[in-house]
Structure 1
Amino acid sequence: MKILCIGSRLFDDVAPYFREKGIESVVTESNPDADNLDLADEVFIGPRGMKFPHDVAIKEEVDGIVPLIGIDPPLLDVAYMKEEVEAENNIPVVASNVHAVQISSDKSKTKEIFRKIGVNTPESVYVYKEDLDDFEDIIHNEGFDFPVVLKQNQGQGGKDISIVSDIDGVRKYFETFDGALCENFIEGAEISIETLGWKGEYLPLVPVYKGDTGINATHPITRVRYGPTNFEKLDNEEIRATALKIAQNIRTEGNLDLDFIYDRKNNKLYAIEANTRPSGTRYLTQASSTINTLAELVDMAAGVFSIGDVESRIRNYYCAEIPVGTYEGEIPEKTFKEKDYVVHGPVGYQRVTIRASSKDELISKVKDITGRDIEI
């Protein structure tokens, strides 16, 4: 069995799994100085784009392709390559198709799907720069008022997103952009959940908490995050059922990362975004459920993936993810087998994800490993 991974940046998440299963790994990469190249059995360096990995896959006669791409811009090219390779060469490509990517990569289209299938999403309207003089009338006609969230239809990780409280803030935002998706600001808890999908079957995993929204809130990556979510009035099964409904309707394959906001005051869950790529909360998913979502992509490519098998392996832990900047201690493999923690992220922006069997044990472990006191 030989499987090709496109991109090496995330390959250390699955390299131990390749070794464990005796699968030969092939990695294509455009940067000869990229991380993790030494972990693969074979490495091919070539130009950016999907033609090079496509050609390597055919030449090397691989059994499957797993794009390890954590950013949005290449996803549509991956989807076109998927359709071509699967149709012409019968090689499975573990990624979403063109239909799903075109929806998930456009925030306006994503929200249209949410509304169509009856999933709550914040009121919104697309506003162009030339309509600024009528901005307040436009949002009032849609049923909301300041504060508002301004964002671009394409983008990830909080890029080009601004929460503004008045028309002056809107005008400042439009000094840079000619238009924006304007969304009603919902104050509450940010939640993410990963969903696995393959050949028409879907499995939502564990909802995890990323911190609260707020006018002056910090970016989620700088916050303490934990899993599973634990809100008195919100059942995690409601989140999982909503995630399943979205995945089935968008018809994703591989990994789907969904973002929600929970309005505690009104006890209401809102869907915000859908991302057809590996999630930034995958270590929380792995710590709290034992499911390494990227390893499951390898199983899909290898033809051995089963929803029932994944469900049978799910275990329930408590976990927390702590920003530490630069971690000074031992850095284990990202498996949670050597230690009950993993370290991830670039030096200077590292995070430690820790798991435990109880809340009290987790609080103690966080203190021992990071020196931080946390409340859950």
Structure 2
Amino acid sequence: MKLLFIGSRLYDDIDWYVKSKNIESVLTESNEDAINLDLPDQVFIVPRGMEGPKQVALMHNVDAIVPLIGIDPPLIDIARMKEEVEGEFGIPVIAAGVNAVELTSDKIKTKEFYQEIGVVTPDYQILNSPEDLTLDFPVVLKQGEGQGGKDIKIAKSIEDVDEYFEEFNQALCEEFIEGSEISIEVLGYNGEYVALPPIYKGETTLEGTHPLNKVKTGPCMVRGLDNNLVQHVAYQVAKNLASDGIFEMDFMYSAKKNQLYAIEVNTRPNGTRYLTTATCGVNSLCELVNMAIGEFSLSDISDKLKYYYSTEIPVGNYEGPAPNVPVKSFEYNDFVVHGPTDYQRVTARANSKEDLEKLIEKLV
């Protein structure tokens, strides 16, 4: 079995798994100085875009293509390449299709989609000027595109809105939900979908604290919230998107209103994947490989599911005990260190809260 992987930045997360499956790995990357280029069997430096990866896939007769792209801009090009390569050459591309990417990459379209399928989302309006505002403060101002908190502002007054419009001509204005931030991964392939355990990312703040700076825990344990509800809604969203790959969804839960709100959905690998793996034993990136080689099934996922207490802590630069090799695998470790220098995080798991606390004391 020969697979083409697009993008090297995330490849070290799955290199151990690819080797354990005796898969011949071919990788394309547009940056000749990128990390992890020493890991695959073959590497090809290609221009930006999907034409280069497509030609490599055809020339080397690969069995499937697995994009490892964790940012939004290239997703639509991948989706268009998927339609072409699957339709004309019959090579599976384990990624979301055009319709799903176009819908989820535009926050306004995502809002409309939620409403169409009956999923509750915070009240919102499109502002073309501050004078259009009808929602009560505080409100959240966003652009239609963007990720990682980019171009998001929590406005507490009309002056804050005026300031936002000094930079932008339009805004998606959303009511601010006071409550718990939750993420969940859904895996989907060939019409089958499975929602993994939800992850707790902390409480909302008027300061707009970035999730990377918060301590996160798994599984999600929020008083009054049924995790089965989160999984059911996430499954409903993924099924209506009717696409392949990883779906990462963000929710808010308001204890005051006892209401779960859908915020957004991404069709790519995401930042909570280590915590999800630590919590339940299912590695979403490894499952992309399983989709590519025909070994993905709901029954297989069910057999893999385990139950741990886990947490993810930002540490800056990790200085604790070294993990076992391969260092990114929870099959060989009870903790994983990830993230770039100065922004590293430790994700750890244990069978009980008490054991998790002892492990964290040892690590950080």
Task: Pick from 303, 312, 335 the counterpart of residue 341 of structure 1.
Answer: 335
8 Å Cα contact 1:252/1:276 also seen in 2 = no
1:368 alignment partner in structure 2: 362
In 1, Cα distance between the equivalents of 2:59 and 2:305? Answer: 37
For 1:341, give the aligned amino acid: F
2:288 alignment partner in structure 1: 297
2:70 alignment partner in structure 1: 70
- Is 1:135 aligned to residue 129 of structure 2? no
SS of the residue corresponding to residue 355 of structure 1 reads: strand
Alignment length (residue pairs): 361
2:153 alignment partner in structure 1: 162
**In the TM superposition, what whole-angstrom CA distance separates every residue of 1:259-278 from its partner, at most 9, and x where no partner exists?**
00011122110000010000
8 Å Cα contact 2:94/2:292 also seen in 1 = yes
Instruction: Tell me how far 1:248 sits from its aligned partner.
Output: 0.7
1:110 alignment partner in structure 2: 110
In 2, Cα distance between the equivalents of 1:52 and 1:42? Answer: 14
- Is 1:311 aligned to residue 311 of structure 2? no
For 1:41, give the aligned amino acid: D
SS of the residue corresponding to residue 150 of structure 2 reads: coil
In 2, Cα distance between the equivalents of 1:232 and 1:257? Answer: 23
Task: Pick from 170, 174, 182 the counterpart of residue 173 of structure 2.
Answer: 182
8 Å Cα contact 2:323/2:333 also seen in 1 = no
Instruction: Tell me how far 1:302 sits from its aligned partner.
Output: 1.1
TM-score, scaled relative to structure 2: 0.98
SS of the residue corresponding to residue 348 of structure 2 reads: strand
For 1:224, give the aligned amino acid: V
SS of the residue corresponding to residue 246 of structure 1 reads: helix
Instruction: Tell me how far 1:331 sits from its aligned partner.
Output: 4.4
In 2, Cα distance between the equivalents of 1:331 and 1:339? Answer: 6
For 1:63, give the aligned amino acid: D
In 2, Cα distance between the equivalents of 1:265 and 1:41? Answer: 54
Instruction: Tell me how far 1:231 sits from its aligned partner.
Output: 1.6
Task: Pick from 219, 224, 237 the counterpart of residue 210 of structure 2.
Answer: 219
SS of the residue corresponding to residue 182 of structure 2 reads: strand
1:353 alignment partner in structure 2: 347
Q: Which moved more, 1:333-342 or 1:153-162?
A: 333-342
For 1:353, give the aligned amino acid: T
- Is 1:101 aligned to residue 101 of structure 2? yes
In 2, Cα distance between the equivalents of 1:217 and 1:162? Answer: 7
8 Å Cα contact 1:66/1:95 also seen in 2 = yes
User: Runs of 5+ in structure 2 lacking a partner?
Assistant: none
1:274 alignment partner in structure 2: 265
In 2, Cα distance between the equivalents of 1:284 and 1:206? Answer: 10
8 Å Cα contact 1:103/1:110 also seen in 2 = yes
User: Runs of 5+ in structure 1 lacking a partner?
Assistant: 371-376
Q: Quote the sequence identity (%).
A: 55
In 2, Cα distance between the equivalents of 1:33 and 1:90? Answer: 32
2:6 alignment partner in structure 1: 6
**In the TM superposition, what whole-angstrom CA distance separates every residue of 1:42-86 from its partner, at most 9, and x where no partner exists?**
100011000000000000100000000000000000000000000
Instruction: Tell me how far 1:216 sits from its aligned partner.
Output: 1.5
- Is 1:33 aligned to residue 27 of structure 2? no
Instruction: Tell me how far 1:217 sits from its aligned partner.
Output: 4.0
In 2, Cα distance between the equivalents of 1:251 and 1:119? Answer: 16
In 1, Cα distance between the equivalents of 2:31 and 2:307? Answer: 38
Instruction: Tell me how far 1:342 sits from its aligned partner.
Output: 0.2
Task: Pick from 233, 236, 252 the counterpart of residue 242 of structure 1.
Answer: 233
**In the TM superposition, what whole-angstrom CA distance separates every residue of 1:131-169 from its partner, at most 9, and x where no partner exists?**
33x233xx2xxxx31100000110001000000111100
8 Å Cα contact 2:180/2:222 also seen in 1 = no
1:43 alignment partner in structure 2: 43
In 2, Cα distance between the equivalents of 1:27 and 1:161? Answer: 34
SS of the residue corresponding to residue 336 of structure 1 reads: coil
- Give the root-mean-square deviation of aligned CA atoms: 0.9
Instruction: Tell me how far 1:32 sits from its aligned partner.
Output: 0.8
In 2, Cα distance between the equivalents of 1:46 and 1:93? Answer: 18
In 1, Cα distance between the equivalents of 2:336 and 2:222? Answer: 26
1:207 alignment partner in structure 2: 198
For 1:358, give the aligned amino acid: S
In 1, Cα distance between the equivalents of 2:158 and 2:242? Answer: 39
1:198 alignment partner in structure 2: 189
- Is 1:232 aligned to residue 229 of structure 2? no
Instruction: Tell me how far 1:233 sits from its aligned partner.
Output: 1.0
Instruction: Tell me how far 1:223 sits from its aligned partner.
Output: 0.7
For 2:94, give the aligned amino acid: V
TM-score, scaled relative to structure 1: 0.95
For 1:240, give the aligned amino acid: Q
For 2:175, give the aligned amino acid: N
